[in-house]
Structure 1
Amino acid sequence: MSRTGSRTTGRPTLAEVARLSGVSPITASRALRGVATVAPELAEKVLAAAATLGYIANPAARALASARSHSVVVLIPSLSNQLFIDTLEAIHAVMRPRGLEVLIGNYHYDVDEEENLIRNYLAYQPCGVLLTGFDRTEGSRHLLAASRVPCVHMMELGEQADAVSVGFSQQQAGYAAARHLIERGRRRLAFIAAQLDPRVMQRAAGFRQALLEAGLQAPELELLAAQPSSIGLGGELFSRLLAQAPEVDGVFFCNDDLAQGAVLQALRQGIAVPQRVAMVGFNDLPGSAHMVPPLTSIRTPRAAVGRAAAQALLAMLDGKRVSATRQDLGFELMVREST
């Protein structure tokens, strides 16, 4: 079979794919993007034609033709945290049936790196952006505002009337953890945290508020480490805490991996949990329910956040009014044997 391809590149074109499969270029484009409204038999013909010709879509050309690409940018601070993996999976599940590509930017909790990603991705003219939280540079805010690209914020709840956000109250989650330990009769309560991003510090604020109300505030019982959260670090910080304050009888960890490390360290040191010290984690990550003892943790709606944020963005792209600009999906305290 002969083919002409693009005059400038010699590569197969969408028009050739459409002609070979017997459909219109618009139908061919939709089929290649996986749009669910294309009949399965037509989609199969288009995919077979594309495979025969060796056709690869040109997203830059598509963006120029429509003034917008068929891409959605998702900016997250970490790809090593299960929290964001679950969120990304949910976003993909919503976007894929609409034929939208998901471009992932990992800024490693660095707001300057996030600004560079925003600048680079906006050059591709995405049709929408999903952001994590509200902490970013003034430059990032200006870029997003000037682009007029629809944005949805995840994991936190915004106070601005014009900002669409999907998440839960990080501060209330910290408050709930402290109240649970207090109700269990614990009186020397510590907070152990790492990474120290804005959401961690919001949990810290809620924890402190509950202790203040109960007359149990103890700033000296806070261990805040700037390095990334991990199981190993959790064990180290727990040992350091008990060396400094052996009277501690309850600990709230800003993330489950820290708490899991502390449970393992307590087992190594022969420290009884919860008899000697009770422990509460955050996020209810895989494995927490299988620790010895099973870890009490605050379960966060990470997949639900991704799903609802993606659906809100699709509504905005369709020109619909978002019914709730501030969707609070809540959290759940999973009480287990560590408390």
Structure 2
Amino acid sequence: MPNAIPPITKTTKSHRATGRVTLTDVAQAAGVSPSTVSRALRGERAVDPALIERVQAVSARLGYVPDPAARALASQRSNHVAILIPLLSNALFVDLLDTAQKTLRASGYQTLMGVTHYDASEEEQLLREQLLHRPAGLLVTGLDHNAVTRKLMESSLVPCVHLMDLPSDPHSAGPYCVGFRQTDAGAAMTLHLLQTGRRRIAFAAAQLDPRVMQRLFGWRSALQEAGVYEATLEFLNPAPSSLALGAVMFEQIMQQRPAVDAIFFCNDDLAQGALMAALRRGIAVPSQVAIAGFNDLTGSDQMLPPLTTVRTPRAQIGEAAAQMLLSLMRGEEPLTPQIDLGFDILQRQST
């Protein structure tokens, strides 16, 4: 008969000087020995599967990070910085990574990168793996994380700066972050289209990550304020953003809502694909339908016609975030916890 699994006992306060949750804390909370916790977290076959599940649940609740260098001083840090980004296939994040890495290397730090693929569970697992190496700091994309990931960040006591996003409330005491307000950028592009005389403005989006949904909210708010919002002009596809998908979405919009006079795409690759589809179909841009994008990706200024878009300061975000993290790793408080680098509307011939 399998051994009974002991009940979870009351969590005791960490005895480590840094306040970091220890293996002993997890053992006491789970009502087992530290060696059992260690074996359970390694997933050894000799450990009851139910006990493994119980220990993992307690570990996640406490935000425990296994430390392969547990015999070293608790305050010891490596000389590398962990960076978590959603994708490498998007030039948006390549530009950001390039400047962040150059800035950190100039101060003697190496970077260890993880790609989350917009998956909250994958982000959580990557963070666990990165924290095993005791990074000196973290650069993490966005502000939207699951509860376990947030707990891991907080309990690790590793300095962390968030990229590309800012709290919706500019007066909030949120986390350290560098970026711009996606909602404001979405509203600004929509306002530009309204000012050119467009009234039936569709919003076409892929990927549907939190930043895309903020742009959608900005588009929606601007149209509602102008009194011309139509819910049926929202075209949302969870598939990865690409030129091919942009062409497909353009065809879909023109078939279902041929009276639209503008389409605001959530990313430039979608808009680029739409411009190519319009050219193939002989649909005049912008006289028949205006097309706008977001991020000013490579090639947007070379499209036929050149694409109107929102220019986002990716390289500047990477550099400023790295500089902020360097300050935190030195134990210095940044002048401001939130840096808004803004955005620009680049009006070209597609609107």
TM surpasses 0.5: yes
Aligned to 1:109: 118
Superposed, 1:32-47 pairs within 5 Å as: none
Runs of 4+ in 1 over 2 A off after TM superposition: 63-66
- Give the deviation of 1:60 after TM superposition: 7.1
Aligned to 1:182: 194
Asked if 1:273 corresponds to 2:282, the answer is no
Alpha-carbon distance between aligned partners in 2 of 1:66 and 1:176, rounded to the nearest angstrom: 46
- Give the deviation of 1:196 after TM superposition: 0.1
Give the TM-score taking structure 2 as reference length.
0.78
Residues 48-81 of structure 1: per-residue CA shift (max 9 Å, x gap): xxxxxxxxxxx979x8797111010000011111
Aligned to 1:245: 257
Q: Structure 1 vs Structure 2: percent identity of aligned residues? A: 53
Amino acid in the other structure paired with 1:128: G
1:311 aligned to which of 295, 299, 323: 323
Residues 177-202 of structure 1: per-residue CA shift (max 9 Å, x gap): 11011100011110000000000000
Going from structure 1 to structure 2, the CA distance change for 1:114 and 1:257 (only over 3 Å counts) comes to same
| Partner-residue secondary structure (3-state), 1:80 | coil
Alpha-carbon distance between aligned partners in 2 of 1:149 and 1:307, rounded to the nearest angstrom: 19
Amino acid in the other structure paired with 1:93: K
- Give the deviation of 1:232 after TM superposition: 0.3
Aligned to 2:342: 330
Q: Is the 8 A contact 1:256 1:284 kept in 2?
A: yes
- Give the deviation of 1:237 after TM superposition: 0.3
Superposed, 1:1-339 pairs within 5 Å as: 67-158=76-167, 160-339=172-351
Aligned to 2:50: none
Alpha-carbon distance between aligned partners in 2 of 1:66 and 1:216, rounded to the nearest angstrom: 57
| Partner-residue secondary structure (3-state), 1:330 | coil
Count, aligned residues: 281
Alpha-carbon distance between aligned partners in 1 of 2:84 and 2:279, rounded to the nearest angstrom: 38
Amino acid in the other structure paired with 1:244: Q
| Partner-residue secondary structure (3-state), 1:252 | strand
- Give the deviation of 1:162 after TM superposition: 4.8
Residues 63-118 of structure 1: per-residue CA shift (max 9 Å, x gap): 87971110100000111110000000000110111111100000100010000011
Tell me, which stretches of 5 or more residues in structure 2 are unaligned?
1-67
Alpha-carbon distance between aligned partners in 2 of 1:168 and 1:144, rounded to the nearest angstrom: 22
Amino acid in the other structure paired with 1:129: L
Q: Is the 8 A contact 1:165 1:326 kept in 2?
A: yes
- Give the deviation of 1:137 after TM superposition: 1.0
Residues 288-333 of structure 1: per-residue CA shift (max 9 Å, x gap): 0000000000000000000000000001111111101110000000
Give the TM-score taking structure 1 as reference length.
0.81
Alpha-carbon distance between aligned partners in 1 of 2:172 and 2:146, rounded to the nearest angstrom: 17
Amino acid in the other structure paired with 1:307: E
Tell me, which stretches of 5 or more residues in structure 1 are unaligned?
1-58
Q: Is the 8 A contact 1:60 1:69 kept in 2?
A: no
